[in-house]
Amino acid sequence: MITIKVLLRSREENFFLNNRFYCYTQLKLILGEREEERNLKLAQRINMKSDRKIITNNRFSLIGEIPLAILSLFFYKAMKFIVGNLYTFYLTVDKKKTFQWRVLSAENLKSSLSLPVLMTKGPRWNTHAIIGTLGPFSVKESIALDTESAKNSAGSWIAVIYSFPSYQTITSLESDRLNSQDKWETLKLKPGKYSIGLRYYQWRDRVNLPAVTIDGVEFVSSCPVPSDTNNFYYDLIKHKNWFYLALHYYIFTILRLRKYLPESFVRNEYLPVGAPDTQFVYGYLMRGQSLQIESNSSLVKNYNIYLTLYDRSSLPLFWSKIESEKFLTQPIENHGFYLIRLRSKPNLEGNSAIKLPIESQLKDEDSLVQRLQIFLPY
């Protein structure tokens, strides 16, 4: 009788090790039960020889990827230069576009030039904010924004002023740094050409982009935006093709080689032209891997945490706001990468945000479940 039980148990363990979906389901159940010890035991059982063999094969495949990644990098740089100049020329010819807010939406993507521009200038899609751009426009002394419309439209927002056409960040207006009683905010600028990038997080049912004045003269009036504008992200993956895959093929490779490359190079290639008040944590996922994000209580309390998973062509697959100390994604179907945006919450007592450098540590990088720990350094 004892021999039969041992054989049955042995068969059950073999099935457990060879069935990834079953492993993932059990891990989800364990996390739901909040039993850390059982979670660690299961992770050990998942990471057996069969899985290590797959990871080893993937390491060998990296050697063959490097030449293709180098070609992809040069292709991206060339396309960024060509498409960027075409877009600058387009804005110069079609001046009507510069006098109105351009909202990132399904309607905006109908233009044949829009998606190539976005995939070369801002390919790490921010799926958590309604995004509007304005300009380019000439400024002699100052620019002012109708911050009351912004406050009424979103719980958190930021307007970034960029130089044109270099798109260098000049200054910004952030919702958690403004006097709540002021209806307008004015920024002093040097004479030159600029554009505005506006991001609305936690937007409300009624959304209006703000009016803008330049040197005391109204440049654009307040503009209503549908609250379901961002629904287009659900279908964005349908635009995947060889062109966008070739553009961003190298990103996955440099993230895998991150420990061997200058961090500034990886960061500049991967991160978007970010808002000054946003911090980032990022990495890659192999086919079949999941990401478990572990945040300490102070981080969850003081920061809004936004996760986006991308496929290898840098189109979004999944996104979520993380509001718990542990968060586990489903296994990714193909190689891809992720980006976590962290924005500090306002301190309600002082109406100011808690801004501290975020630290992170990646564990079990070659396991079926990567463990990413994010925490405040105190």
- pLDDT of residue 120 exceeding 50: yes
- pLDDT of residue 96 exceeding 90: no
DSSP labels, 230-249: GGGGGGGGGG--HHHHHHHH
By three-state DSSP, how is residue 174 classified?
strand
- pLDDT of residue 2 exceeding 80: no
* pLDDT value, residue 274: 64
By three-state DSSP, how is residue 278 classified?
strand
- 0.85 exceeded by the pTM? no
Mean pLDDT of 50-62: 52
Backbone angles phi, psi at 42, to 5 degrees: -65, -40
In sequence order, the β-bridge partners of residue 244 are none
Cis before 136? omega within 30: yes
190: how many CB neighbours lie within 10 A of its CB?
10
DSSP labels, 39-97: HHHHHHHHSSHHHHHHHHHHHHHHHHHHHHHHHHHHHHHHHHHHHHHHHHHHHHH-GGG
H or E segment to which residue 15 belongs: helix 2-18
Q: Which residues contact 269 (CB under 8 A, 6 or more apart)?
A: 73, 250, 251, 254
DSSP labels, 108-121: GGGSTTHHHHHHHH
- pLDDT of residue 325 exceeding 80: yes
- pLDDT of residue 16 exceeding 70: no
- pLDDT of residue 306 exceeding 80: yes
Most confident range (mean pLDDT) of 8-12, 29-33, 355-359 is 355-359
Name the more confident of 201 and 355.
201
Q: What share of the chain is helix, strand, coil (3-state, %, to 5)?
A: 40, 30, 25
Range in 44-53, 133-142, 260-269, 293-302 the model is least confident about: 44-53
* pLDDT value, residue 369: 92
- pLDDT of residue 34 exceeding 70: no
- Looking at the chain, the number of H-run helices and the number of E-run strands are 9, 21
Q: Are the CB atoms for 299 and 345 separated by under 8 Å?
A: no
Supply 361's token pair: 């540590």
- Taking the C-alpha atoms of residue 196 and residue 160, their distance in angstroms, rounded to an integer, is 6
- pLDDT of residue 69 exceeding 90: yes
- pLDDT of residue 127 exceeding 90: yes
Mean pLDDT of 199-208: 95
- pLDDT of residue 317 exceeding 90: yes
pLDDT band at residue 48 under the 50/70/90 scheme: very low
pLDDT band at residue 58 under the 50/70/90 scheme: low
Supply 84's token pair: 């960027």
Range in 25-34, 56-65, 200-209, 338-347 the model is least confident about: 25-34
175: how many CB neighbours lie within 10 A of its CB?
22
Supply 283's token pair: 């990495």
Buried b (16+ CB within 10 A) or exposed e, 11-34: eeeeeebeebeebbebbeebbeee
pLDDT band at residue 98 under the 50/70/90 scheme: confident
Q: Are the CB atoms for 233 and 196 separated by under 8 Å?
A: no
Angle at 157 (CA atoms; ends 355, 240), nearest 5 degrees: 105
By three-state DSSP, how is residue 165 classified?
coil
Mean pLDDT of 83-91: 85
Closest CA relative to residue 40, chosen from 27, 29, 51:
27
Kindly report, residue by residue over 230-276, the tens digit of the pLDDT. 999 999 999 999 999 999 999 999 999 999 999 999 999 998 776 77
Q: Are the CB atoms for 119 and 247 separated by under 8 Å?
A: yes
Most confident range (mean pLDDT) of 38-42, 262-266, 342-346 is 262-266
Backbone angles phi, psi at 17, to 5 degrees: -75, -30
Kindly report, residue by residue over 364-377, the tens digit of the pLDDT. 888 899 999 998 87
Range in 9-18, 109-118, 294-303 the model is least confident about: 9-18
- Taking the C-alpha atoms of residue 101 and residue 41, their distance in angstroms, rounded to an integer, is 54
- pLDDT of residue 101 exceeding 80: yes
Chain Cα centroid distance, residue 253? 18
228: how many CB neighbours lie within 10 A of its CB?
11
Q: Tokens 């521009």 correspond to what residue?
A: 117
pLDDT band at residue 36 under the 50/70/90 scheme: very low
* pLDDT value, residue 359: 86
Question: At residue 368, what is the residue type?
Answer: L
Supply 206's token pair: 């009624």
Using only C-alpha atoms, the chain has a radius of gyration, in whole angstroms, of 23
CA end-to-end distance (rounded Å), the chain: 56
Kindly report, residue by residue over 148-194, the tens digit of the pLDDT. 999 999 999 999 999 988 888 899 998 887 776 788 999 999 999 99
Please, what is the average pLDDT of the chain?
Answer: 83
* pLDDT value, residue 60: 52
Supply 275's token pair: 């808002």
